[in-house]
Amino acid sequence: MQRKYAVHVIRDFCKGCGICMVLCPAKILTLSKDCNKRGHHYVIAKENGCLGCRTCELTCPDFAIFIECLEENSEK
Ligand code: SF4
Ligand code: SF4
């Protein structure tokens, strides 16, 4: 199944506060093992499962995460 939404994290903006992880209804966000250049673990998203609700995008205090709506697949 083709994914409908892509989750983009601007790695060096993220401070790893976890707000998006807690609020994501799909529970597809986790923290990286690596650190960004500011020394924070940053959010990474599973490739599939995003519901496109944009809760993460709207609640991130650092504008570090945004959602891209991908084109509908050609099954229509
Ligand atoms: S993406 Fe935003 S809300 Fe999520 S952990 Fe990073 S700074 Fe916090
Ligand atoms: S748009 Fe919604 S489902 Fe997708 S990663 Fe953000 S909070 Fe989770």
Per residue in 13-64, pLDDT (tens digit) is 999 999 999 999 999 999 999 999 999 999 999 999 999 999 999 999 999 9
| Whole-number Å distance between alpha carbons of 3 and 31 | 21
User: Is 19 domain-assigned?
Assistant: yes
| Whole-number Å distance between alpha carbons of 67 and 70 | 9
User: Is 75 domain-assigned?
Assistant: no
pLDDT score of 75 = 52
How many whole angstroms from 48 Cα to the centroid of ligand 1?
Answer: 19
User: Is 17 domain-assigned?
Assistant: yes
Q: Counting ligands in written order, which one lies closest to the CA of residue 21? A: 1
Q: Which domain holds residue 54?
A: 5-69
Total length of the chain: 76
Return the ligand 1 atom nearest residue 13 CA.
Answer: 7
Report the nearest-CA residue for atom 7 of ligand 2.
24
Q: Counting ligands in written order, which one lies closest to the CA of residue 31? A: 1
Considering its fold, how many domains does the chain have in total?
Answer: 1
16 close to ligand 2 (CB < 6 Angstrom): no
Long-range Cβ contacts of 35-39 (<8 Å, 24+ apart): 36/11, 36/12, 37/12, 38/12
User: Is 23 domain-assigned?
Assistant: yes
User: Is 76 domain-assigned?
Assistant: no
Give me the CATH number covering residue 58. Answer: 3.30.70.20
